[in-house]
Amino acid sequence: MTRKQQRIYSIILIVFGIGIATTLSLMAMEENITYFYTPSDIFEDENLPPQDKAFRLGGLVAEGSLSRNGAIITFIVTDNAHQLSVAYEGITPDLFREGQGIIATGNLNPEGVFVADSLLAKHDENYMPPEVAKALEEVHGSDKTAP
Amino acid sequence: MFGYANPKRYQQLSRIILALALVFAVIFLGEGLYLALIASPPDYQQSETVRIMYIHVPAAWLSMFIYASMAVAALTLIIWKHTLAGFYIRAAAPIGAAFTAICLITGSLWGQPTWGTWWVWDARLTSVLILFFLYLGVMALGNAYDNPDKSQQASAWLVLIGSINLPIIKFSVEWWNTLHQPASLTSLSRMANPGIHPDMLVPLLVMAGGFLCLFVVLAILRLNNEILSRKIHVMRLRTIHG
């Protein structure tokens, strides 16, 4: 074959090889790339870090579950399949409210409550002006903004 | 297509494109900034903080688009030995690096008030940081050897090998749990029903157009410089070696 054909084939081969290598590496590293676990992950008890290691829990703040007890706030995190109670002491991010997505870093205590050391708000991919959001709320009767 | 390898035709064409791109860059950026900063509505959740999006998202789109164009040029250089493609990689790399840096910095500034953190090592942010390092690597490798053609080959191979990062960046928010939110526009489920309101989508697209035209202007100017630079290099070699 001509040299040009050789170059083309070698490129295809190399790019293919790197693609496969990368795919395999990413699959092997899945646990480390996953930025947070959901309540369902914890319920199903798969691939969890050991009991005393901190990890990140992600999900929605369940409506009506937020309550303040002095400096500590407690709420329930849900992924619409399973729920987990969370307790957090500290400043909450600006976007933190009921129905909002959050990512909490901390440990699961023996009573099954997740004690969070830090709290991040996760916002969804919907962008709209306030008037539109208000109109949607009136139409749907609840906050449409599920992350 | 390869007719444009002819230097004279390239010069004529690039002059026209440069003029057009300059005009449109000014129009789009002017209109875009007005829409983004003044005319567009605040977000229902983030209020005025959302305006960073009009810089952050177009910069992100450009950073990926420029790298993809460099990958095409790398293929052209390696398979067809098209020297102009090598010049293009040298011309485009710093611009791509700048857009990636803008994306990372504005993203960080946006993350602090909304998420509550300047940086996390989730899949999206980490892969874009890797893209930034790839750009720097391509720039460094392009100057690594005394022989410019050898340097060009090396950086072209790096561009190709690194191009695996582009689908990783794109799909990182879908394949893994990340802090960065999923696509509002460009995922398949979103194309028919975008998660962004038209009053905000239009300024975003205008800014993206402006950034693209700005890139074209800068790339052509840099490409012309690279061509001249190579001519000087050849002339120097001729005087040394007679």
Cross-chain Cβ contact A120/B123 below 8 Å = no
Cross-chain Cβ contact A120/B117 below 8 Å = yes
Residue of A nearest to B165 (CA): A22
> Using a CB-CB distance cutoff of 8 angstroms, which residues of chain B are in contact with residue A147?
181
Regarding an ipTM greater than 0.85, the answer is no
Q: Is residue A104 within 8 Å of A88, Cβ to Cβ?
A: yes
d(CA B180, CA B76): 35
Those residues whose C-beta lies under 8 Å from the C-beta of residue B9, and which sit 6 or more positions away, are B3
Give B47-82 pLDDT, tens digit per residue: 888 899 999 999 999 999 999 999 999 999 999 988
Of B42, B114, B183, the CB nearest to A123: B114
Domain ranges of chain B: 14-43+50-184+203-241
d(CA B214, CA B208): 10
> Using a CB-CB distance cutoff of 8 angstroms, which residues of chain A are in contact with residue B179?
35-36, 103, 120, 122
CA Rg value for chain A: 22
d(CA B56, CA B106): 6
Question: Distance, in angstroms, between A109 CA and closest chain B CA?
Answer: 23
d(CA B161, CA A104): 36
> Using a CB-CB distance cutoff of 8 angstroms, which residues of chain A are in contact with residue B36?
none
Give A49-95 pLDDT, tens digit per residue: 666 778 889 998 988 888 888 888 899 998 888 888 999 988 888 78
- What is residue B47's predicted lDDT score, i.e. its pLDDT? 83
Of A15, A22, A125, the CB nearest to B181: A125
Would strands A67-69 and A72-78 be described as parallel, antiparallel, or unpaired? antiparallel
The top-scoring range by mean pLDDT among A97-111, A119-133, B138-152 is B138-152
pLDDT confidence of B181, banded at 50, 70, 90? Answer: confident
Taking the complete model, does pTM exceed 0.80, yes or no? Answer: yes
Q: Is residue B202 within 8 Å of B209, Cβ to Cβ?
A: no
Backbone torsions φ then ψ of B102, nearest 5 degrees = -60, -45
Class (C level, CATH) for A35-140: mainly beta
Cross-chain Cβ contact A129/B50 below 8 Å = no
Domain ranges of chain A: 1-33, 35-140
